[in-house]
Amino acid sequence: MRLKNFIPVLYIVFLLLPIYWLVNMSFKTNDEILSVFTLWPQNLTLHNYRVIFTDASWYSGYINSMIYVSINVVISVTFALPAAYAFSRYSFVGDKHLFFWLLTNRMAPPAVFALPFFQLYSSIGLFDTHIAVAVAHCLFNLPLAVWILEGFMSGIPKEIDETAFVDGYSWPRFFVKIFIPNIASGIGVTAFFCFMFSWVELLLARTLTAVNAKPISAIMTRTVSASGLDWGVLAAAGVLTILPGALVIWFVRNHIAKGFALGRV
Amino acid sequence: MIVKQTNQKAWFMVLPVFLVVAFSAVIPLMTVVNYSVQDTFGNNVFFWVGMDWFKELIHSDRFHAAFLRQLLFSGIILAIEVPLGIVIALAMPRKGWGVPVCLISMALPLLIPWNVVGTIWQIFGRVDIGLLGHSLASLGIDYNYTQDPIAAWLTVIVMDVWHWTSLVVLLCYAGLCSIPDAYYQAAKIDGASRWSVFRYIQLPKMQRVLLIAILLRFMDSFMIYTEPFVITGGGPGNSTTFMSIDLVKMAVGQFDLGPAAAMSLVYFLVILLLSWVFYTVMSNIGENSSNGGGR
């Protein structure tokens, strides 16, 4: 049994070491980072974080990312709910083909779409807006949301629908009052995955924005390429991008494994 | 299976999704198709060149090299992450305080923006300021991912293992949790060995999750762009220029729309085809083994 416990511990150490190193660096001054090699900060400083929280060109990136990720999660979940219901309850002309076609969009490399997206959103005047990034991310998040929600909905017995209709519920009222509460954890898991894939994506978000909606990750790459690299601030910015994800995991920790299991398994 | 009612009105429920995805997928895809068969001298004047870009692409060494690198990369990634993920999932605790600790710390890398993953490993591997690079250097190992192609490959692979093995672990763990205790008790009574428990109880139960894990890992590793771009920028030389990096270089860097569009289409078709092959092969294996189990 000892070896068995050893494997996950080793793996978690492997996962956390690079993250620890980033956190460690974010509390160091640049002098300390570059001159001496230390395993923990000798002169603990909050200077790097202060830079980010006081400079608008830094913290606006976080706000932009949060805005388009939220819009994307709302669009993905609200649009996917009725579609997933249709796929799980009814058969209709072309349903299987449509479902497969939706999934193929999950397989499309974002690199293929970067340039056409840029032209498309420029031509309709949405370039450099939050809504453009949110809609672009729907390309892979909507199919995923439909896929996961369909899995959850198929786990709800059909008798619930039928009983409600016999009781005189109209479809919208039944859907909101009875069905949605039944798949609440499924919606949570779906929102989690939409958040995750929209939050981590960079290529499309960077291509579709210039100034007003520039995501934090794009601001970081700009800093990397600039001369006179400020390692401490870069590390602090990195740590701050990990935090929202960590918070979200904390809230859905009991649902993650279940979500993986129920989402089409 | 639930018997589904035929109802054409269901199309109205699917319509919003259909419209949004069509807007984001079909219009750009048509633009790509458009470019792939035309050439331009600027000023938005295009003329028809037919299949020329495709012919050029098929015979181009640059494309072959990027494609082979990509296949090798995805192959290595699958060969490491899938067995490793299964082993870790098997070793994970099923109850107690260890479960949330494992789940949270393992899910953490999945939620880090991809360029930050690149940055983390860029810093971690640097000889002057990174823990990994510094430790290796002090052990006397010559390691520099910006100059040595092998070191660059190793860095990118270790980074991807770090980033994505958890996805396989979480999926397999979910599959394992769905096995009722009675199965294990029955195996114990029969005196089954550890290996046969794995082979005849756990592996079949994980089959569907494994299919999803392999498909997702294959698709995403085949599309990898941001992380190697941040760490190595495709270098040293072209040694870590994978398909997406090459494509972006061509489309955005050099603005060769025709060849880039042709490459996009071939790229997309290759992913579709390989995903389909994986899906078919794995589902067939699944059916055969479940038939075997029933016999």
The predicted pLDDT at position B164 comes to: 92
* Whether residue B41 has pLDDT greater than 80: no
- A80 & A23 share domain: no
Instruction: Please write the tens of the pLDDT for every residue from B131-154.
Output: 888 888 888 777 888 788 888 898
Average pLDDT, whole number, for chain B? 82
Q: State the Cα–Cα distance between residues A67 and B233, nearest whole angstrom.
A: 29
Q: How many domains does chain B have?
A: 1
Q: State the Cα–Cα distance between residues A263 and B108, nearest whole angstrom.
A: 20
Q: State the Cα–Cα distance between residues A183 and A255, nearest whole angstrom.
A: 12
State the amino acid at position B109 in one-letter form: P
Domain that holds residue B207: 63-294
- A52 in a structural domain: no
Q: What is the ipTM of this complex?
A: 0.81
- A158 & A254 share domain: yes
- A28 in a structural domain: yes
- A227 in a structural domain: yes
- A82 & A142 share domain: yes
- B26 in a structural domain: no
Are A106 and B219 within 8 A, CB to CB? yes
- A82 & A111 share domain: yes
Domain that holds residue A13: 1-45
Q: Residues A59-86: what's their mean pLDDT?
A: 91
Instruction: Name the nearest CA neighbour of B110 among B163, B45, B177, B65.
Output: B163
- A122 & A176 share domain: yes
Q: State the Cα–Cα distance between residues A194 and A189, nearest whole angstrom.
A: 9
Inter-residue long-range contacts of B52-60, CB under 8 Å, 24+ positions, other chains counted: B52/B258, B53/B258, B53/B259, B53/B261, B53/B262, B54/B262, B54/B266, B56/B259, B56/B262, B57/B259, B57/B262, B57/B263, B57/B266
- A153 in a structural domain: yes
Q: Which residues of A touch B131 (CB under 8 A)?
A: 17-18, 21, 39
- A51 in a structural domain: no
- A5 in a structural domain: yes
- A81 & A103 share domain: yes
- A244 & A191 share domain: yes
Instruction: Please write the tens of the pLDDT for every residue from A88-143.
Output: 888 888 888 888 788 788 777 887 788 788 888 888 888 888 998 998 899 889 98
- A38 & A138 share domain: no
- B6 in a structural domain: no
B170, A260 in Cβ contact below 8 A?
A: yes
The predicted pLDDT at position B295 comes to: 30
- A86 & A160 share domain: yes
Q: Which residues of B touch A33 (CB under 8 A)?
A: 129
Q: State the Cα–Cα distance between residues B102 and B170, nearest whole angstrom.
A: 10
Question: What are the respective helix, strand and coil percentages of chain A, to the nearest 5?
Answer: 80, 0, 20
- A103 & A194 share domain: yes
Paired with B40 in beta bridges are B46
- CA distances to A153, B36, B103, B157, B171 from B167, rounded to whole Å, are 23, 36, 11, 16, 6
Q: Which residue carries 């799980």 as its tokens?
A: A88
Instruction: Please write the tens of the pLDDT for every residue from B97-137.
Output: 788 788 888 888 988 888 889 888 888 888 777 888 888 88
Q: Which residues of B touch A203 (CB under 8 A)?
A: 225-226, 244, 248
Q: Number of H helices and number of E strands within chain A?
A: 14, 1
The predicted pLDDT at position B287 comes to: 64
pLDDT-derived band at A228, boundaries 50, 70, 90: low
- A1 & A112 share domain: no
The predicted pLDDT at position B294 comes to: 35
- B13 in a structural domain: no
Q: Is B251 on the interface with A (CB under 8 A)?
A: yes
- B121 in a structural domain: yes
Question: pLDDT: is A67 or B244 the higher one?
Answer: A67
- A27 in a structural domain: yes
> Nearest CA of chain B to the CA of A152: how many Å?
13
Burial (CB count <10 Å: 0-12, 13-18, 19+), residue A167? exposed
- A32 & A120 share domain: no
* Whether residue A254 has pLDDT greater than 90: no
CATH number at residue B166: 1.10.3720.10
- B41 in a structural domain: no
- A201 in a structural domain: yes
Q: Is A217 on the interface with B (CB under 8 A)?
A: yes
Instruction: Please write the tens of the pLDDT for every residue from A25-34.
Output: 888 887 777 7
Q: Which of A20, A96, A112 to mutate to test the interface with B (most CBs of B within 10 A)?
A: A112
Q: Residues B50-64: what's their mean pLDDT?
A: 80
Q: State the Cα–Cα distance between residues A86 and A35, nearest whole angstrom.
A: 62
pLDDT-derived band at A1, boundaries 50, 70, 90: low
Q: Which residues of B touch A93 (CB under 8 A)?
A: 8, 11
Question: pLDDT: is A257 or B45 the higher one?
Answer: B45
Q: How many domains does chain A have?
A: 2
Window 97-156 of B: residues touching A by CB (8 A cutoff) are 98, 100-116, 119-121, 123-124, 128-132, 134
Q: State the Cα–Cα distance between residues B235 and B45, nearest whole angstrom.
A: 35
CATH number at residue A135: 1.10.3720.10
Average pLDDT, whole number, for chain A? 83
Window 228-247 of B: residues touching A by CB (8 A cutoff) are 230, 243-245, 247
The predicted pLDDT at position A223 comes to: 59
Task: Supply A119's token pair.
Answer: 């032209």
Q: What percent of chain A has pLDDT over 70?
A: 91
Q: Residues B252-261: what's their mean pLDDT?
A: 76
Instruction: Please write the tens of the pLDDT for every residue from B148-193.
Output: 888 889 889 999 999 999 988 988 887 787 778 888 888 888 888 8
Q: Is A250 on the interface with B (CB under 8 A)?
A: yes
Q: Is B209 on the interface with A (CB under 8 A)?
A: yes
